[in-house]
Amino acid sequence: MGFRKVAIVGAGITKFVRRAQETGPEMSYLASKTALDQAGLKLKDVEMITLGSAPDAFDGVHMKGEYLLSGAGGNNKPYIRNFVGGGTGVFAPIHGWMHVASGACDVCLVVCSEKMSSCHPHPQGAFLTIFDHTTEQPLKPTLIWIFALEMRRYMETYGLSKADIARVAVKNKNNALDHPSAQVAEAVTLDDVLNSEVLAEPVHRLDISPASDGAAAVVLASEEVAKRLTDKPVWIDGVGWNLDTAYWATKDLYYPRYVEKAARMAYEMAGITEPHKEIQVAEPYDPFDYKELHHMEGLLLCERGEAARLTAEGFTARTGNLPTCPSGGALGVGNPIAATGLMKVIEIFLQLREEAGKRQIPGKPRVGVAQAWGDLMQVGTVIVLRR
């Protein structure tokens, strides 16, 4: 389609923590500097910058993109913020890809940052106003209500038990024990998850990722520059994004069609016709355990309703046929919204370069997919990477 080839040539992540002393710009700097150092570049080599961050109400700073600009190296550069809520972390590198694939620049820095600990007593208060002010806000909903409705519908549609869902939390929290950025890595068992505090049936405490502070960054480069910088470029082979209606009550709660549409867009660009066979490692977005299953199906990595069985059979473990969330995911590493999505992209980048350390999956993977989701529970963002 006339796009230039674009590679990821460097990546950086801060620790994900409950409350960071660092400000948003300071966290953005730490991730950006690490990514530039890994790429062997200086800020002066960066031509354009794109910054991803979720709602301003989390940090309590309006114009958050501008607030984070200096730490993301954006002073006196073509810099812009991109935003699709929870889908932002995978959309940010897609946005950076646009800059390089179009020929607008050869080197683009992509930065994602979130500081949710500023928001008191809890970020749920900020989430309240994503609901319709006339029909829903008077009921004082929380996000967990929505997810409980979605999880129940998904379970009922495919005859799944809570244990079928909880195995994802067990896998991811244990995987995160090997991630240096992890906030809530834990050697939990199935019983731990099932017996944890009930928040809104069927959702329990350990079914959910935490609120976090953290930042992540990647450096994107055109083919010519990438080949000069590294002998291990990881190519962005396909990108896709799709948004359904913002009124969540109209959607099929058991299946994310918008994720499928985003995935099909990315796969077509990447020349992938049989994703369940061609993709060797995946980072589906997992803010809740059932969402990983939901998203595996939306990403066409398995048949609808099959994801839980594959998880139970070990298919998605690091040693399985299709490892999912080898990083530990949002459930284990933590969930500083935009930074989480980019952390997932970075995990695929590291896996394909065989630089994931203890988290490295066997078999020299060559193709992987990362996906994020969110906004008003109706956006899918998908990126396919290839060695």
Applying CB under 8 A, the residues found at the interface with another protein are 19-23, 25-26, 29, 32-33, 36, 42-44, 57, 60, 70-71, 73, 75, 117-123, 125-126, 128-129, 133-134, 137-138
Instruction: Give min distance, CB of 144 to another protein, in A.
Output: 16
Q: Are 359 and 234 in contact (CB under 8 A)?
A: no
Instruction: Give min distance, CB of 366 to another protein, in A.
Output: 33
Nearest CB to another protein, comparing residues 126 and 376: 126
Residue with tokens 């300071």: 26
Structure tokens at 136: 């829903």
As beta bridge partners, residue 380 has: 242, 373
Q: How far apart are CA 368 and CA 91, in angstroms?
A: 16
Instruction: Give min distance, CB of 112 to another protein, in A.
Output: 17
Nearest CB to another protein, comparing residues 219 and 236: 219
Instruction: Give min distance, CB of 80 to another protein, in A.
Output: 18
Nearest CB to another protein, comparing residues 111 and 279: 111
Nearest CB to another protein, comparing residues 35 and 279: 35
Cis peptide bond N-terminal to 123, omega within 30:
no
Main-chain phi, psi angles of 221, to 5 degrees = -140, 150
Q: Are 368 and 385 in contact (CB under 8 A)?
A: yes
Nearest CB to another protein, comparing residues 22 and 260: 22
Category of 329 on φ-ψ map: left (φ > 0), alpha (ψ -120 to 50) or beta: left
Q: How far apart are CA 291 and CA 281, in angstroms?
A: 17
Instruction: Give min distance, CB of 221 to another protein, in A.
Output: 17
Nearest CB to another protein, comparing residues 22 and 375: 22
Structure tokens at 85: 């809520």
Nearest CB to another protein, comparing residues 35 and 262: 35
Which H helix or E strand runs over 276? helix 275-278
Nearest CB to another protein, comparing residues 125 and 363: 125
Structure tokens at 15: 């620790």
Instruction: Give min distance, CB of 125 to another protein, in A.
Output: 4
Beta-carbon contacts of 114 under 8 Å, excluding residues fewer than 6 positions away, are 24, 53, 54, 58, 59, 212, 213, 214, 215, 336, 337, 338, 339, 340
- Give 17's DSSP letter: B
Nearest CB to another protein, comparing residues 19 and 364: 19
The torsion defined by the Cα of 95, 97, 102 and 104, in degrees rounded to 10, comes to 80
Instruction: Give min distance, CB of 26 to another protein, in A.
Output: 5
Instruction: Give min distance, CB of 29 to another protein, in A.
Output: 4
Q: How many CB atoms lie within 10 A of CB 185?
A: 20
Q: How far apart are CA 92 and CA 11, in angstroms?
A: 13
Instruction: Give min distance, CB of 89 to another protein, in A.
Output: 22
